[in-house]
Structure 1
């Protein structure tokens, strides 16, 4: 796990050595270095939100691949300006993009978690927590209100924390299919080999 000093060094290095440093736009260096914690970087909420329209789908069947364009079929995007609120009602689930655009070098990975101060108020920030080396783009946050009262969240607020890890051993070059995106997306669920075998066995029975 990288320390605050190492994170600060890699963020600064990105300006002159993009392949070696951690790119972050907007960068906290020289502007808001309080975002850098003892071993993490605070990430802020962006302005794009995506919610599932319950009236358009009665069930999500994970045994079937969702078609391309699920965002247009089942989801609705919201763009919330700065200083305005997005309300997360109890039991509701929403995807949001981070304000920061990030670029990871091939030898640095990470994972993102919610902030405990928000979790204690019922706002859970869970993500596809691992960020692969080489990722580039905004991160998608999976937000749910597990409390009993609505919670107002505002673009620009610190909503999660990103921890960095250095890759040991041979670097593997692999591009994430979610790289390069500015808006949150549902993504496409792929049935794994074991699940496919189970489904085929059940059909034979």
Structure 2
């Protein structure tokens, strides 16, 4: 069940859900507005033409209050908010329609698992023919919270726990071995 503004405010007041910094206007009828942080990360130019998921990728990270996203460019960004989900809530990130109508695609890879703590890394892509100015502090999306039917038996303790800033992929740490 998706949480209402009343439930969200109650959880925040009881400190069961932590989102910081948070202005009261960010709590919407069925979500919490999330804002763009000031950390942007891009894959560094490398001599190898193929990114391999079994090897670490080099990233370049900058901190800035504004970032110009060129047409066809991809950048990792972060939320301004640090989120602490209890073990009985999950969340997902939705982009704002107003942002999508500018050609800015906002993707978050899957759910935010119960027990997650950290800033949320956003994948941003400019599908427009014009550059788009990204500004720290601007509303970029919504965090939709959902109650689990039971507390998670194994809450999140993965490789992105506690992340701050736009965090690059750590898929190379997975123990997956492709079958031949």
Normalising to structure 1: TM-score of the pair? Answer: 0.80
Flag the 1:59–1:37 CA change in 2: closer, same or farther, 3 A: same
Unaligned runs of 5+ in 1: 15-20, 201-205
1:42 aligns with 2:59: no
Give me the whole-angstrom Cα distance separating, in 1, the residues matched to 2:61 and 2:176: 29
Give me the whole-angstrom Cα distance separating, in 1, the residues matched to 2:106 and 2:49: 25
CA drift at 1:58: 1.7
| Structure 1 equivalent of residue 62 of structure 2 | 78
Root mean square deviation of aligned Cα: 1.6
| Structure 2 equivalent of residue 66 of structure 1 | 55
Which of structures 1 and 2 has the larger relative contact order (alpha carbons within 8 angstroms, sep 6+)? 2
Give me the whole-angstrom Cα distance separating, in 1, the residues matched to 2:165 and 2:44: 17
* Partner SS, residue 144 of structure 1: strand
Maintained 8 Å contact 1:102/1:137:
yes
Maintained 8 Å contact 1:114/1:159:
yes
Picking from 144, 151, 160, the partner of 1:163 is 144
Larger radius of gyration: 1
| Structure 1 equivalent of residue 160 of structure 2 | 178
Unaligned runs of 5+ in 2: none
Give me the whole-angstrom Cα distance separating, in 2, the residues matched to 1:56 and 1:47: 28
Maintained 8 Å contact 2:108/2:123:
yes
Picking from 3, 17, 26, the partner of 1:22 is 17
| Structure 2 equivalent of residue 95 of structure 1 | 76
**Which one has the bigger helix percentage?**
1
| Structure 1 equivalent of residue 121 of structure 2 | 140
| Structure 2 equivalent of residue 130 of structure 1 | 111
1:111 aligns with 2:92: yes
